[in-house]
Amino acid sequence: MGFFRLRIIFSILLLCLSSHYLIGQVSSEKPARIGLVLSGGGAKGIAHVGIIKAMEEAGLRPDFIVGTSMGSVIGGLYSIGYSAEDLEEIIRSTDWDLVVSNRVDFKDIAFEEKEYYNRYLVEIPFNKGKMTLPSGLIHGQVLSEVLHYYTFPAAQYESFDQFPIPFRCIATDVRTGEPIVFDKGYLHDAIRSSIAIPTAFTAFNLDSTLVVDGGVVNNFPVDIVRSMGADFVIGVNVSDEDFLEVEELGGFGGILMQIAMAESLRKTSVNIEDTDIYIKPDLGPYSTGSFGEYEAILKLGESTGKEFFDRFKKAADSLDVMNLEKDEAPVSPELTIRSIQVDGNKLFSDEFIKSKLGVSPGQTVNRDFLQEAVRHVFGVNGFYKVDYSLRQVNESEFDLIIRTIEKPKTTFSTALHYDNVFSVGLLANWTIRNWIGNSSRTVLVADISRNPKFRFDHYKYLGPQKKVAINFRFNYLRQEFPGYENGELSRINIFNNSRTELQLITTNSLKEAFYFGFITDMSRSKLQFDQILPDGVKNGIDNYVSIRARYYRNSQDDRNFPTRGAEGLLEAEYRLKTWLKINLDKGVDTIYIDGGRVEIPVSKEEVDQLVESLMP
């Protein structure tokens, strides 16, 4: 009996010692490392923010983040320190209509180009004299502008492992079809590569390698976050989990997309199985292009996050990651530019682009300054895209690389119009760069209608800084104005006007310009079916030469339906010389004016004397 009691006591002591050893062993191990995976899905990826918000509230902070396409945007910004609340504000303040178009805000167009911008329905480029069809794809000028602005704080890091949360994103090499996993470099370029959605955005040229959306090969990259060292994976998938039936694809385009995404879909089903907490928000009717519904998608993401809050809390407790301090908001640094390099330009010289840029070697800049500088270059309206990259030279200096995609030398634009003055008409615009001299732009505009118009407009930028241009412009207009008496057509006033302008214009601002120059104007009018003027009068002519000074300001955000900004004009004009003349029909030397009971004869000489007396 005593021996049996002794064995029990010994066993209890052994169990206690073993438990103490095991507890000590667990506490000495590092806590599990958490990986967050955010899939692609276009606008549906906005829902990622609500999931992250719930994780923050539960005290669950990822140790690694991997994203594809829209998931790379949300994940990349979160990894450098933006909070879920910051991300919501970014989404709400972004003009998504501009992001998913080839347009930019009207106020960002150079002043000398505003009158032609966004005026036509179709723009057809001509390459080496041959017409080429527009691609229909989005070059993403505004998308890059937004990404540059918010990823700018990451310029201080050489590797994505140095971010507050280590980050990776996925793109696809167009040439090989292989995935590219970004772990270093310029964050904007990595995200822009990952979000180059085929059939929507153009492929991104990354150091002579064309890349497209990473969703083509790995839309839900759980395997990548595991390779980074994640022990516990939370995955948010806002795209398809598997292949869809043919009737669900919505046509031939959907079939092609599913074929293109086949490898990614096969990998997604495997990666779902390797996820510890798998989240598939129910996004109802919303699609990859529903960016205009961002508010509703944010709310759906937030409600999904609340559904998983308890699981997040439980995971945070069990993984020993409670009471985490919130990261400070990312600080946008000021950088010193060592050198400036321009890539992709042929029509526009390096000097012209640098003069518009307004950045000098040795200058210290911030993201706001660079954003405005790039807008000045793009505002010339001769580019499909202008953006930049920063290459770190040392701790405080960077090389600035301006990357351009030029429009062809010649473009043809056209549109239809109708109004009650000029009737139905076809507008045609030919814009030619460097046709009459370098650093120049020539526009030929024709309005083919009952009241035709024609314009020749030539700009030549002057000086090393290109802040002034000389402008020669010729306008021709023919109009018919009917006159009625007692409801019946009594006369038609045929008005022909030709106007020539030669002036200097300042070109250093996107919002305002000063003009100074000479104007010659010749107006010729003729009346038909007239019951007032006597027979024999052919037409009247009014010519003048003047000098003009003008200040014109336009800060509006749209040429047709502005919601912000203002437009104003101050003008002073002095007529140097005026000529008035009345021409009689051929063979007519006397006209007769109705004097009531009698007709009064007036000779051609008397008509000329009367006109001369009226001239200033």
Q: Where are the domains of the chain?
A: 34-98+141-168+213-319, 335-406, 450-611
Structure confidence by residue, pLDDT tens digits, 436-445: 999 999 999 9
Structure confidence by residue, pLDDT tens digits, 22-43: 333 333 467 789 999 999 999 9
Give mean pLDDT, residues 123-139: 81
Rounded to the nearest angstrom, the gap between the alpha carbon of residue 225 and the centroid of all alpha carbons in its chain is 32
82: pLDDT strictly greater than 70: yes
What is the assigned CATH class of domain 335-406?
Answer: alpha beta
268: pLDDT strictly greater than 90: no
Under the banding of pLDDT at 50, 70 and 90, the label for residue 608 is low
Give mean pLDDT, residues 338-358: 95
The predicted structure's pLDDT at residue 8: 40
Residue 97, Cβ neighbours under 10 Å: how many?
A: 11
For the ranges 34-38, 454-458, 509-513, the lowest mean pLDDT is seen at: 509-513
Nearest to 227 by CA among 163, 165, 168: 168
Helix axes 48-57, 84-93, angle to 10 degrees: 150
Burial class (CB in 10 A: 0-12, 13-18, 19+), 76: buried
| Tokens, residue 536 | 């024999």
Structure confidence by residue, pLDDT tens digits, 256-266: 565 566 666 67
Burial class (CB in 10 A: 0-12, 13-18, 19+), 53: buried
Rounded to the nearest angstrom, the gap between the alpha carbon of residue 220 and the centroid of all alpha carbons in its chain is 28
Maximum CA pair distance of the chain?
157
Contact of 83 with 333, CB cutoff 8 Å = no
| Tokens, residue 164 | 């507050």
Q: Which residue has the tokens 């998913």?
A: 100
Give mean pLDDT, residues 137-142: 91
